[in-house]
Structure 1
Amino acid sequence: MKFTMTEHGFTGHLPYGELHVSTNEEHGFRPYQLLVSSLAICSAGIIRKVLEKKRMPADDIEVEVKEIVRIDEEAGRVAKVHLHFRITGDVDESKMPHVMELTRKNCSMVRSVEESIEVVETFEVI
């Protein structure tokens, strides 16, 4: 992974393509957006895998970031993120608390920030 400075931020040169990052949304993704996206997508991917292993594959998983709490006095540090998952498919809702527990345990991004960011995860089965 390599990042080079540009006029308005930095460009990441990654195997899939370029990633433009800037403190100004007009010129790229803001760093906190990438952090929150990593939490959301890592968790959703683990939910997907766990459901497949339990023979309840999801037809669709949508993640909504319901809340982001930032602390201005601490350089805008992200203190809390609320992720809400909408899962469509033939999923036994009574098994979802265990699925969510396994997801939290196995999501490397959530585990990486567990001492510094409160990650709240809720779900609904549709």
Structure 2
Amino acid sequence: MPSREVVQHFEDVVKEATGEGPVQEITTETPQSLITKHKCLAARPSAQSCPQHYDDGRLQPDQNRVQSTGARTPFSIAAEIEAQVAATKARRESEAKDREKAEAEAKAKHEIESLQ
């Protein structure tokens, strides 16, 4: 483990975060969010926290970890397929009932017109 003098010297010499990462040189074409992420994820000798919020891909504590759109398991895929089949069946039954009702109304209307 390095001594305090070595760490202090390193902190004095290296003020900015350094390290290999996605951004090797800053150009005008580089998105600023990528530069910020690189600076936040690069090693910091003084263990300072990142000044800006950055997205490291992890869920926040208030995010729902159960209903997320993460990995799909065979059980979740089967449940999704069953739900789609049930919804399709219900829709077809509803459409058939609507068709029968419309046909019955048309037939009744035709009978009334023929009586007059």
Normalised by the shorter chain, which TM-score bucket?
A: under 0.3
Q: Compare CA radii of gyration and give the structure with the larger one.
A: 2
The structure whose residues are more often helix, as a share, is: 2
Q: TM-score, normalised by structure 2?
A: 0.24
The structure whose residues are more often strand, as a share, is: 1
Greater relative contact order (CA < 8 Å, ≥ 6 in sequence): 1
